[in-house]
Amino acid sequence: MLTNFNLHIGTKIKFRRLELGLTQTKVALAIQVTFQQIQKYEKGINGVSALRLLQLAKYLKVPVTYFYEGYSEYQIPKEPTVITVKEAVNEV
């Protein structure tokens, strides 16, 4: 399952990179890794750390949640549930 997740994120990285017309080398330089590392991310060989995911999101101009979209194990809530302090106290 973890390898599926790595592959999913890698596919999203590659799609967005190509959409923007960027090379692996340009992306690598922007987040201070080697282009080989970008290749490994894109192929799902290596997982992407939280820090690198933030860097990639910023450079590729997408929200971090972009990388999770379409992954079957992850569902983004349509509307966040917000309760007030008064409601929380009444529940206790």
Q: What is the pLDDT of residues 71-84, one digit of tens each?
A: 877 665 566 566 66
| 44 φψ region: left (φ > 0), alpha (ψ -120 to 50), beta (else) | left
Residue pair 28/14 in contact by the 8 Å Cβ criterion: no
Residue pair 6/47 in contact by the 8 Å Cβ criterion: yes
Q: Does the pLDDT value for residue 87 go beyond 70?
A: no
Q: What is the pLDDT of residue 83?
A: 60
86 HSE (CA, 13 A, CB side): 0
pLDDT in tens, 26-70: 999 999 999 999 999 999 999 999 999 999 999 999 999 999 998
Q: Does the pLDDT value for residue 88 go beyond 90?
A: no
CA distance 84 to 90: 10
The number of beta carbons lying within 10 Å of the beta carbon of residue 7 is 14
